[in-house]
Structure 1
């Protein structure tokens, strides 16, 4: 067995033409957002056009009040929740978090928490088709959402093809930027999810969406269709980005490399990870040398090299034992998440709508603002109706 990082995983996806795909309606668009409210314009426009509820999960520079004002002004049905006011125990205490908590790989990001919360709400509300959409994604043709929703009858998850800024790790961006081939994959930025996949969860690690695509043992059948556009950003602006991505990128590339080779998670033993880590570090070292020899401006080369050095520095902290331990903890978490979903359905029922979902999860009224959707009593005296 050869352990190596692959330049493309597209062979794992079923490509489907949006024009030929069956059509269906979404139950909700879910946006985990931390940017100012004007970044929500694409999601709001899509929700209005599709006549679907927009669930905005807000933190940091995004507030529920500001998000709902944007939705109200556009005439969209929306519910926004300030996730910083919620009990962290709404989502299980995952073993994967405990593995990393006392290490330099611990993360304070809340995107996974928001996406997992969105899944729990979907379960209790009785939704069958949802779309996760990031606040930096543009939708040139919202009609493609109907195609993605329609394909959920055949596939548990369907990603929209990214036609904008490639959504890769810093290392993969650098590989492409020195002229080598480097593909992209589907991800949580524009991902339609069917009810059968609600029993997957997003671990708090970079490439959490790749892990969501798995069912605990392998990749769920996954399709790609339509178009989404990732807005432009500078992957080399801060070397800490590469440092924070390295463990998640290593694990995901290692796991998906197995799938590319028609192998499974059972083959991810200590010998595999030892060989894969050597290959991964060789790739980064070689890319550094290619950057230095590239015709890019000196300042650009310096930022690229700094980011890649940050990645290799953290890579040297990754051991085969850590990789195996994380995957073992993740598989335990898969069971923990399924039990959480099962208990919610047993104790609270499902299919009774968004009001039932937020009540069952005991989401504080002070954390909610809504427009055009009934969610119980008026929130903070600013619940908005259209």
Structure 2
């Protein structure tokens, strides 16, 4: 077996032209947002055009008051939740989190939690088709959403093809920026999810959306169609970005490399990871050399080299044992998550979004003239929710 990092995983996806695919409508668009309310306008426009419910999961610079007002002004049905006030215990404790806690590999972000909470609400509400849409994504043609929703009749997950800033890790950006071949894949930024995939979850690691595409052992049947445009950003602005991505990028690229080689997770043993590390680190070192010899502007060139050196430095701390332990923990988490979803569906499934909010004990309070309902069932302060 030859372990290597592939430059493209497109062969793992079924591609559909928007003219030939079936069409349907989503039950909800779910936006994990951390930016000010104007960044929600694309999602709000899509929700208005398709008359779809909008679930806004807010933190950082996104407030439920401004998010709800933005949606209300457009006449969109919406629910805005302040993630900072949500009980983290709503999502089961994951072994993968415990494994990385208080290590250099712990990832202090809330994107995975937001998406997992969205899945819990979807399962309780009885939704069958949802769209995860990030707040930095533009949709050139919102009609593509109908195609993505329609394909969920055949595929558990369908991604919109990214025609904007490539959705890659810092390492893969650098590979492309020095003129080497480097493709993109589908991701959580614009991802249609059918009810059959609600039993999958987003681990708190970089490339969490790639792990979501798996069923615990193999890649779920997945498709790509339409277009989404990710807004531009500077991947080399802070070398800590590359450092924080390295474990997740290594794991995901290693696992998907197995699939590209027509192998499975059973082959991801310590020997495989040792061979994979050698290839990945070779690629990063060769990319550093190419950057240094390139005619890229001096300041940018220096930032690229700093980022790549940060990645290789963090890579040297990743061991074959850590990778095998992480995958075992992740598989245990898959079972834990499916059990959580099954229990919710059995006792509360199909109750509608208002009942879902109550079951999860996410009481609401008034924003922009919204009705008030307060629960006293929890010891800690209840999670604010704004409805319009």
After TM superposition, the score normalised by the length of structure 2 is 0.95
Q: Give the Cα separation in 1 of the matches to 2:224 and 2:156.
A: 12
Q: Give the Cα separation in 2 of the matches to 1:138 and 1:123.
A: 27
- Cα displacement (A) at 1:49: 0.4
Aligned residues: 382
Other structure's SS at 1:201 match: coil
Q: Give the Cα separation in 1 of the matches to 2:277 and 2:212.
A: 23
Structure 1 unmatched runs, 5+: none
Paired position in structure 2 for 1:140:
140
Paired position in structure 2 for 1:344:
344
- Cα displacement (A) at 1:371: 8.4
Q: 1:382 to 1:59 in 2, by over 3 A?
A: closer
Select between 26-35 and 376-385 the one with higher mean Cα deviation. Answer: 376-385
Deviating beyond 4 angstroms after TM superposition, the runs of 4 or more aligned structure 1 residues are: 368-372, 374-385
Query: Pairwise mapping of residues 220-235 of structure 1 onto structure 2 (< 5 A)?
Result: 220-235=220-235
1:363 aligns with 2:362: yes
1:325 aligns with 2:341: no
Paired position in structure 1 for 2:110:
110
Is the 8 Å Cα contact of residues 81 and 385 (structure 2) preserved in structure 1? Answer: no
- Cα displacement (A) at 1:364: 3.2
- Cα displacement (A) at 1:365: 2.5
Q: Give the Cα separation in 1 of the matches to 2:276 and 2:367.
A: 47
1:125 aligns with 2:117: no
Other structure's SS at 1:365 match: coil
1:257 aligns with 2:270: no
Is the 8 Å Cα contact of residues 166 and 230 (structure 1) preserved in structure 2? Answer: yes
Paired position in structure 2 for 1:248:
248
Q: Give the Cα separation in 1 of the matches to 2:369 and 2:88.
A: 25
Q: Give the Cα separation in 2 of the matches to 1:292 and 1:108.
A: 32
Q: 1:371 to 1:209 in 2, by over 3 A?
A: farther
Paired position in structure 2 for 1:297:
297
Q: Give the Cα separation in 2 of the matches to 1:184 and 1:265.
A: 22
Q: Give the Cα separation in 2 of the matches to 1:148 and 1:155.
A: 10
Other structure's SS at 2:107 match: coil
- Cα displacement (A) at 1:351: 1.0
What is the CA deviation profile of residues 338-377 of structure 1, one whole-angstrom value per residue up to 9, with x for unaligned ones? Answer: 1111121233x211210011111111335x85889x8967
- Cα displacement (A) at 1:316: 0.4
Structure 2 unmatched runs, 5+: 376-381
Is the 8 Å Cα contact of residues 125 and 353 (structure 1) preserved in structure 2? Answer: yes
Q: 1:151 to 1:384 in 2, by over 3 A?
A: closer
Is the 8 Å Cα contact of residues 129 and 152 (structure 1) preserved in structure 2? Answer: yes
Q: Give the Cα separation in 1 of the matches to 2:65 and 2:162.
A: 30
Q: Give the Cα separation in 2 of the matches to 1:338 and 1:381.
A: 27
Paired position in structure 2 for 1:30:
30
Q: 1:135 to 1:314 in 2, by over 3 A?
A: same
Paired position in structure 1 for 2:353:
354
Select between 349-358 and 128-137 the one with higher mean Cα deviation. Answer: 349-358
Other structure's SS at 1:295 match: coil
Q: Give the Cα separation in 2 of the matches to 1:380 and 1:183.
A: 40
Is the 8 Å Cα contact of residues 77 and 371 (structure 1) preserved in structure 2? Answer: no
Other structure's SS at 1:81 match: strand
Aligned-CA RMSD value: 1.9
- Cα displacement (A) at 1:382: 9.9
